[in-house]
Structures are given as structure tokens and as C-alpha cells.
Structure 1
């Protein structure tokens, strides 16, 4: 439900509540970061085989050991996918923050629109797209490097 909330609507509510500026933008971006990471983490933890978890408890593993040794390693790829999704979503959310006085690349876009200067609008748009693609690429590298050893790419 939280991810279905339009970013511009959330930012508008935060500007009304907190006033215009970077504080409202940062809170909005943070909210949009938490949701995909949390949902991917829950999905990753739920994907574990209940019999494997019961066996780990049966051999005397503590809840912390079960979490760190059994549940988290196979969930890491999904968690990292959530982080990757959040990073790309936040580029768009940060761009919208310009409407609430949050600054960023959205200022170029809104300035280009209001002054009808297409080169400024194009510059802001191209830089926003480039930033999203660059973050996605770095996040994909992080996924490869941080994936626990022994896990297949398709698992």
C-alpha cells in the first residue's frame, strides 16, 4: 500500500506538514527507500524452507544463529535487489523534490518547463536518466560482489 502512494502526493503532504525544503524531501526519499528494501527482505526470509529452519533449531542453534547462518544468506540476493530498486526509485523521487523546495536535478527540469527552455529541460532529464542508470549499474555490481558464496545466480 505504501509503495502505491504517488511520490508527488507524499512529498506534497510532507511539505504541508514540515514546510518546504530539504527536510521534507529527505523524509520522503527515506520512506520510499524503506518500502522496497523491507518487502524484498520479507520475501527473501519467507522463501526459506521451513523444514531447514526446524532442523537448525533442532540441532540447538539459537534464534540469532538460525537468522545469521540459515535464513539471511539465501535472502541476500533479494535484499540487494530491493536496495537496487530503491536506489533507482529514489532518483525519480529526488527529482520530484524540487516541487517542494528540495533542490536537485528536478530544479533544471522545472526551470526548463516554466521558462520554456527545452535545452535546460533536456539537460535535467538526461542527467536524471544517466544518474538512475549509473546507480542501477553500481547496484548490480554490488549484488555480484555481496552475494554469498555458493549461491547460484538464478537462486
Structure 2
């Protein structure tokens, strides 16, 4: 039996293609694998220390809450330095993409590259000579060292926006600030978040060097283990540093997925 074109059109209209279900942003693997690995590593480390025969020097280095104090100092240094990186690099990146300040972009990027090209320990030493030992010198060094990825990603994300979208937004009467807040920044969010994630991990690693400037942190355990030749102290400081870096990177990756605008996702 033959069908007429009118019947074919009715059949197509009656059976529309079902919409593609949106992809889940965060899978159970993303939520469980790395935390489970970190818990296993920390549990194995605790069991090893529970059975280890520590001498007086090792016990003195790890007693009286010194481990928790060093860990808390490491977290503080990372959070505070990253906060200052964000309030410096993102507004500066936005400013350097405006027409009036674009000529200053090469100069700003040169200084940012110099900050990260300088060895972290050398930069910290110069700041200690200038400002004296303490947390202040460590924080300034960490900010200088980690500002490049956030600044460069902010500039790259804003420059990558389609000019026709911006012209369309201005054409419907949006102000320059409105275009920035509602069009440019949302489109640049993925690249900006990637830079923030890189800066966080950099700051966790750089914070271990704060001990050389009197800033504390897990570097205290590492340097104590090296200078006293006590392997348990060195191992504990190293494992905690690596675990903290992995945990921070995992949390940043979750934030990167959650904060990404849904309109930029395929299939949503």
C-alpha cells in the first residue's frame, strides 16, 4: 500500500524525536574514586605510624599538635594567597581586555611571566630580605608566583568571545557593564576556572616553601625530617602535602563543573 505525502507528514508530526537527556555534570566515579584513594593512603599511613618505633627526636617533631598545626598553616596559606590572586588577577584581566588598556597587556603579562619564571625559593628569599621573615613574605611570594595562570586565562577567555555575540548584545540596548556581566564573563567562566584550579595546586606546592621564610606549613615537617634524617617525619610531611594537593585539585574540578554555565554544555 502506498502512502501519500500528507500521511507521511502526519506520521512525522505524530512521532517527534525525543529530546536528548541532559548529561550529568558530576558522576559517581568523580565523587568517589579520588576521595576513596586518599582515605586509603591516609589510613595506611596512620597504621604504619601506629606500629612504627619512633625515637625521641621523631616523637618530639610530631607531638603536641605540631602536625595539625602545620597542616592548618598550609591550608591557611593556600586559601589566603588564592583569594588575593583572584581579587588581583581577574579584575586586572578584565581591565586589560578593555579598549583603553589593551596596549598595557604585554607589559602586565611580562611581569606576570617574570613572577612565575623566577624560582619560588629565590623569590621567597628576596622577599624575606626585603620584608623580614614571617607569613607576610610567604603570602606575597605565593601570590606573585600564582597570578599568571588566572590572569592569562581571564584574558584568553574574554578575548575568545565571539564579537558578533557582543555586538548583538549591544544592539539590544545592553550597556558595556551589562555585556560584561551577562555575556562576556559567563562565556569566559570555563577558562577562568581552569586558571583558578591551576593556581590552587601551585599554591599548595609553594606553601611548603613558606617554612624557609618563617611562614610555617607542612614544609616544617619535611625540612625537619631532612635535617634530622628522620624518615617517618619526612614521609608524613610529604604524604600530607601530596594528599592536600590532590584534594584541592579534586574540589576545584568539582567547582569547575558546577559553576560552568549550562548553556555552554552540549546536550543541555
TM-score relative to the length of structure 2: 0.55
Distance, in Å, in 2 between the alignment partners of 1:60 and 1:31 is 39
- Could you say which residue in structure 1 is the equivalent of 2:176? 63
Distance, in Å, in 1 between the alignment partners of 2:260 and 2:147 is 21
In the alignment, does 2:253 pair up with 1:140?
Answer: yes
- Could you say which residue in structure 1 is the equivalent of 2:223? 110
The one of 172, 185, 201 equivalent to 1:72 is 185
Distance, in Å, in 2 between the alignment partners of 1:47 and 1:105 is 39
CA RMSD between the two structures = 1.3
TM-score relative to the length of structure 1: 0.93
> 5+ unaligned residues in a row in structure 1: which ranges?
none
Distance, in Å, in 2 between the alignment partners of 1:3 and 1:58 is 41
- Could you say which residue in structure 2 is the equivalent of 1:38? 151
- Could you say which residue in structure 1 is the equivalent of 2:76? none
- Could you say which residue in structure 1 is the equivalent of 2:265? 152
Distance, in Å, in 1 between the alignment partners of 2:119 and 2:176 is 38
- Could you say which residue in structure 1 is the equivalent of 2:212? 99
Distance, in Å, in 1 between the alignment partners of 2:212 and 2:116 is 20
- How much has 1:58 moved relative to structure 2? 2.8
Distance, in Å, in 1 between the alignment partners of 2:126 and 2:173 is 49
Asked whether the equivalents of residues 222 and 237 of structure 2 are also in contact (C-alpha less than 8 Å), the reply is: yes
- Could you say which residue in structure 1 is the equivalent of 2:242? 129
- Could you say which residue in structure 1 is the equivalent of 2:163? 50
* Cα deviations by residue, 1:5-39 (Å, 9 ceiling, x for unpaired): 22111111111110011110111122233322111
The secondary structure found in structure 2 opposite 1:103 is coil
Q: Which moved more, 1:17-26 or 1:34-43?
A: 34-43
Distance, in Å, in 1 between the alignment partners of 2:259 and 2:168 is 27
Aligned length: 153
* Cα deviations by residue, 1:65-118 (Å, 9 ceiling, x for unpaired): 111111111111111111111110001110011111111000011111111111
Q: Which has the larger radius of gyration?
A: 2
Distance, in Å, in 1 between the alignment partners of 2:183 and 2:164 is 11
- Could you say which residue in structure 1 is the equivalent of 2:86? none
- Could you say which residue in structure 1 is the equivalent of 2:124? 11
Distance, in Å, in 1 between the alignment partners of 2:204 and 2:152 is 19
